[in-house]
Chain A
Amino acid sequence: MNSFFRKLRWLTRRSGKEAELKEELQFHLEEEAKQRQEDGLTEDKARWAARRELGNLLVVEENTRAAWGWTRLEQLAFDAGYGLRQVRRNPAFSAIAIATLALGIGGIAAMFSAVDAVLIRPLPYGDADRLVMLWDDFTGEGRSGHMPAPAEWLEWRRHNVVFTDIAATQPGDATLSGDSEPEQVPARKATASLWSVLGVSPLIGRVFTEEEDEKGVRVAVISHGLWQRRYGGAPDVLGRKISVNDSPYEVIGVMPREFFFMPARDIDLWIPASFPAAMKTNFSWHDAQVVARLKPGVTLERAQESMAALSRQVTAKDFRGPHAVVVKPLREEMAGKTQTALIVLLCASAALLLIACVNLANLLMSRSTTRGREVALRTALGAERGRLVAQFLTESLVLAVLGAVAGLVLAMPAMRFLETLVPETMGRVRLVLDWRVLAFCSGVAMVATLIFGLAPALRGSRLAPQKGLREGGRGTAGARSHWLQHSLIVIETALAVVLLTSGGLLLQTFQQLRNTDLGIRSEKLLTFETPLFRYRDFDRRVAFVNAQLEQIRAIPGVVNAGAISRIPLTAGDQATFYLLAGQSRDNISRRQVALTRVVTRDYFHTIGARLREGRFFEIFDRRSESPVAIVNESFADRNFPGRSPLGARLKFGNLNEKGYWYTITGVVKEIRDRGVTEELKPTIYRLHEQANQSGDQPSGIVVRTAVEPAAIVSAVRQAIWSVDKNQPLWRVRTLEDIVDGQLSTPTQSTTLLSVFALLALLLASLGLYGVLSYAVTQRVNEIGVRMALGARSSEIPLHFGKRGLALTLTGLIIGLALAAIATRSMTSLLYGFRPEYVLTVTAVSFILLVVAALACFVPARRASRVDPVIALRSE
């Protein structure tokens, strides 16, 4: 501290010190001269001897000043000032440099802010890195991350040695009614351990206890959003009785605004799971998500091993046979596919920045040769090499800082776009330029400075003074400089090829995703859900569903309407076992599961499904003891390969004597029931009014309209309320919304990667253009001589064209090799498609060569126009 103030004081007395130093050294020279005179030299000779002994006065002064401290900082300020003047003096050069850097830095800054928000920033739980999720490992059935059943995780909770505790949540969407309009909200049933496992506490009130969970006390913890929206943020909401699915629940706590938990950010209501005793030994009810907290010191691997062993023991009684569990970090679970997308995009933006830097290095190198005279002069005057390097680097830093500022301006709109890439499972995020992004950006600017500034600085400062001065100010460059510049061109071309190839593959995948046959005509199809918990009685339910559909069909603009237990494309893996006629119940395979859907008669007609064979449900399929079923192609192909399944009989869900035997009456072409990007599964459809089989209810409504679907939403509400004024309806969206939502990650990653790839191509071709035209400028004399000696004017451009082509081809080959490696890390973004590598590679090569040819053409043409007379005169 002391020395700091001393330095500070000195700094203020700076000019005084300068004079003192001069006087001190002057005194030394005089003393020395006097002494030498005493030793017998003449006055003149003595003075010269003293001067010689001292050496370079400027260097001594400089070194002494260095001992004062602060000089580095002063130098920096001086060099930065000089750098700024350079920027103003060469506006064209500076504009290109700053714009190039702005693209590079802006891209990586925006990507970093998204990566930071999704993958780095701590989740809103206590010690969130210790949280993991547990899934059944049904690899044998082709599924690894399956939801566990209560009989499993209750045992895990009791016997595990690696977790401090385990908590489970189950779906439990709820209708709130009574206090105001009925409202359907996303809700979860949770064990009381959830709160302690997550390490969260409510904003006001309390959370439910183990005892309340055990006894089935009706209490509810609500989200901050619901509290504000429905209860106006009133503090007296605590203790209030609210009606949840027609049962009274007491509100006991409100969670903080930033709280969210799997599986979605918008869950509004948390109620005790309170499992009935029968559930606790149930091995087949797989609908829970299980989260656990690792004990201190326990690693993920150890937990994985220990839990796999425990699970095999626990599931020995399971009819599926013993199986292991998968232990996955919560963060990974939440980020999902976005994680890969973000990492790939971050790498792409880094590659773009690298290209920008390489480009700029080339530009600076071209300039540093033209600045050779300045360097030579300064070296002759005693400037040290290190000092010159520092100066060049500082000038580069000035450019980098300006580029970073411009980049941040570019990053802001990009961040708005990236916000939508944050997965549904995480809290809503607003990406902002906070100190983390700014700090990252400063770091990037510094690294970029080193990357693009170091080579030119080292090269530029190496020039021998006599050579630089002798050349009389004309730029010079030896063979070495070509070698370096050429490698830089190859590097940036290769990087651009990697980006183009990856972008091309994503684009193909995206095209394929977009062209996926959904099995549904998706345009003008409105969907929504009507929870049917108030219609537990079969006859009343059938009557209500049919009546509301009748009312909806009567709305002008509606073509048809139908109902299904799960809106198509919205997932739901609720698979059940089935039994084909002739099979014994005891030896059905573990893989013999199918999705089941219950539909109304008009459902298939409404969504525009197509038949492979047989028929859809008809008016004569009335209530019966021998109902009919429709299966999809996957089901038919698996169970009846090469023959028709029509007329075959099967049971599902309820496999004992009481279960209905269904007769297959139709095979429907594949409908993407589980989602656009998900794999198809065998599916069985049954008619809701034909048989009273417990389980699914036709709560999802699809409406085919002739007009814009949004225009009839309120009419649909009125139609339903005319049948039952307390019927809630929610999740109103068109099928196209659903498709867009599911394709948002591929859409955005494809768009961004394509933008990065195109910018990379642009920068790489600018780089090639720059280097070639620089080479032409440098060799004007040589060209002049050649032409004077009779070279034909077509040979000259060919020479330069060949060189450009050689560089591009080298870059292309290296780039394609790198791309082959890089694309391996993004297989999960290809959604199981096998894109045509050859097609992409061909397209990329073609585009690159065309662009490179253009970049070569202009300088080459300029070379051919060189007038030998003018060229030689400049010698």
Chain B
Amino acid sequence: MRREALSRVELLQGTLDLLILRTLLAGPAHGHAVAKHIQRTSEDLLQVETGSLYPALHRLEAKGWIAPSWDLSEKGKRARFYRLTPLGRKQLTAERSKWEAFSRAMTLVLNPADQGTQ
């Protein structure tokens, strides 16, 4: 049986795009691999719903941040692979710094005591 995560984190609005872009930074991957990668790396805390994964992939494609190509999977089946475009790379940097600023801000607000000791 698959291990059910004890506590699963709801994906924040808009973070799926960032996760997909980051995952594709490692190299081209098909949709299923992207989902599994996010799930694994987040230690099963993040579960990507298929219902939102494919619309997201196609949306990013429409924006020109990722590009598709048909290739053979590890098991020799035809699959649609996505890779990061230069435009997507730029977008990733931007989104990432935005997210880092946001998360820093959240930490600062949630742990105000730290500030005193610094």
Contact = CB atoms under 8 A, between A and B. Distances in A.
Interface string A1-27: 011001100100000000011011101
A27 B62 contact: no
Interface stretch (A60-68, A423-431, A629-637): A60-68
B50 interface: yes
A679 interface: no
Contacts of B50: 28, 32, 53-55, 60
A32 B54 CA distance: 14
Nearest to B3: A39
B62 A20 contact: no
Contacts of A34: 75
Interface stretch (B18-26, B77-85, B101-109): B77-85
Q: Is the interface of A mostly helix, strand, loop or mixed?
A: helix
Interface in B88-109: none
B64 interface: yes
Nearest to A20: B80
B31 interface: yes
Nearest to B53: A28
Given A23-B78, A30-B77, A64-B58, A39 B2 contact: yes
Given A28-B50, A39-B2, A63 B55 contact: yes
Interface string A216-230: 000000000000000
Given A31-B32, A68-B62, A23 B80 contact: yes
Interface residues of A, number: 32
A24 B31 contact: yes
A322 interface: no
A68 B58 contact: yes
A183 B107 CA distance: 94
A652 B87 CA distance: 94
Interface in B38-86: 49-52, 54-56, 58-59, 61-64, 73, 75, 77-80
A69 interface: yes
Contact of B58 (A36, A55, A56, A67): A67
Contacts of B62: 3, 6-7, 10, 67-69
A321 interface: no
B32 A28 contact: yes
Contacts of B58: 64, 67-68
Given A63-B55, A67-B59, A28 B31 contact: yes
Nearest to B2: A39
A27 B79 contact: yes
A67 B55 CA distance: 6
A6 B79 contact: no
A27 B56 CA distance: 17
B51 A54 contact: yes
Contact of A60 (B51, B61, B73, B79): B51
27 contacts: A2-B64, A3-B62, A6-B62, A6-B64, A7-B62, A10-B62, A21-B54, A24-B79, A24-B80, A27-B31, A27-B77, A27-B80, A28-B54, A31-B32, A31-B73, A32-B50, A39-B2, A53-B50, A56-B51, A60-B51, A60-B54, A64-B58, A67-B55, A67-B58, A67-B59, A67-B62, A68-B62
Given A23-B78, A23-B80, A34-B75, 7 more contacts: A21-B54, A27-B80, A30-B77, A54-B50, A60-B50, A63-B51, A67-B61
Interface of B: 1-2, 30-32, 36, 49-52, 54-56, 58-59, 61-64, 73, 75, 77-80
